[in-house]
Amino acid sequence: MTDRRNDEGAPRRSFLKLGALAAGAAVASTAAQKAAAQAAPASTLRAALDRGKLIVGTGSTNAPWHFEDEKGQLTGMDIAVARILARGLFDDPNKVEFVRQEPAARIPNLVTGKIDCVIQFMTVSPARAQLVNFSRPYYIEGVALLTSSKGKFKTHKELLDAGAGAKASVLQNVDAEKLVAKALPKAQVMQLDTQANAIQALDSGRADAAVIDLSTVGWLVKRNPDKYLDSGFHYETQLYSIAVRQNDHDWLKFIDTTLNVNMHGHQTDLYDQAFRDFFATEPPKRTPGFPNI
């Protein structure tokens, strides 16, 4: 999820974020950095290879990124990317263990050595880059407006025309109002604590549009075409990358290399299949010649 905004923002989560930021800041200080370096192995690449499996921190409650399928198995784009790394390490996409964590625990769990990397729709930001190292992006997320097939307004134009008569639900966040205003300048804004609740507001008619992740809109519309519609307005771009500890160069380089090969090189099968499964989109064609990665 675009986590410039506060995901699942119940009060204890903001406390969690505070706690997480405090933990992150403490670690950034010299003394704690030393301790962190002692807590984490010298090279995560070596440690993972020796261990025989990869340990990835991710979530379990957000489709299509990381969620449980009908059989109770973790699946999603983040999961697929983790399996890509596992294949790169062990030739076996199943040699990965997932540590379920809330978004606010991403940096603390990474920095204290409990996981090898974070693959959890993590938006790249300079503030975060001071605490962790980011890989090259593996996806660029956007924002879209989900509408209901039973709703008053179905397209972006209809929502725009309704002006202040349109109600939009959105995940609560410091920039939530601005985000909605970019799409619907005059609409009333309803901030809710989880993305699922923002969609629930649309279902129950309390909102005319839910302002959520583009990939989630795609996911819902594909699975419930008679219930949900894409109003057609897509905007914003955010980079999603894998996060690793600082001063772990071989590991970072390994991840970048593996991602490049799987997104642009000769092993694109896993990535492309995930793209189709979770975004209902064909990945773009790769062409030989001048490198554009």
Q: Under the rule (CB under 8 A), what is the footprint of other proteins?
A: 8, 12, 15-16, 19, 23, 35, 39, 60-63, 67-70, 72, 99-102, 105, 108, 112-114, 194, 196-197, 199-200, 220
List the one residue out of 117, 59, 122, 130 whose CA is nearest residue 89: 117
CB of 92 to other proteins, least distance (A): 23
> Least Å distance between CB 41 and other proteins?
12
Residue among 158 and 277 whose Cβ is closer to other proteins: 277
Shortest gap between Cβ of 89 and other proteins (angstroms)? 22
Helix (H) or strand (E) holding 138: strand 133-148
Please report how close the Cβ of residue 36 comes to other proteins at its closest, in angstroms: 9
For other proteins, the closer CB: 72 or 284: 72
Tell me the sheet residues that pair with 54: 96
Residue number with CB closer to other proteins (48 or 74): 74
Say how many C-beta atoms besides its own lie within 10 A of residue 187's C-beta. Answer: 24
Cβ neighbour number for residue 53 with a 10 Å cutoff: 16
Q: Which two tokens stand for residue 180?
A: 């909605």
Residue with Cβ nearer other proteins (97 or 250)? 97
Do the Cβ atoms of 120 and 101 come closer than 8 Å?
A: yes
Cα 215 to Cα 284: distance, rounded to the nearest angstrom: 16
Nearer to other proteins, 7 or 248 (CB): 7
Cβ proximity of 255 and 135 under 8 Å: yes
Give the side-chain half-sphere CA count within 13 A for 213: 28
DSSP 93: T
Q: Between 102 and 116, whose beta carbon lies closer to other proteins?
A: 102
Strand partners, 244: 133
Between 24 and 93, name the residue whose CB sits nearer to other proteins: 24
CA-to-CA distance for 176 and 264, rounded, in angstroms?
Answer: 34
Q: Smallest gap, in angstroms, from Cβ of residue 70 to other proteins?
A: 8
CB atoms within 10 A of CB 216: 23
In the complex with other proteins, the residue whose CB is nearer, 47 or 196, is 196
Nearest approach in angstroms of CB 139 to other proteins is 18
Q: To the nearest whole angstrom, how small is the minimum distance from the Cβ of residue 113 to other proteins?
A: 7
Q: Structure tokens of 74?
A: 């973790």
User: What is the torsion angle, in degrees rounded to the nearest 10, for the CA atoms of residue 41, residue 44, residue 45 and residue 51?
Assistant: 70
- The distance of closest approach from Cβ of residue 105 to other proteins in the complex, given in angstroms and rounded to an integer, is 7
Q: Which of 194, 199, 175 is nearest to 103 (CA)?
A: 194
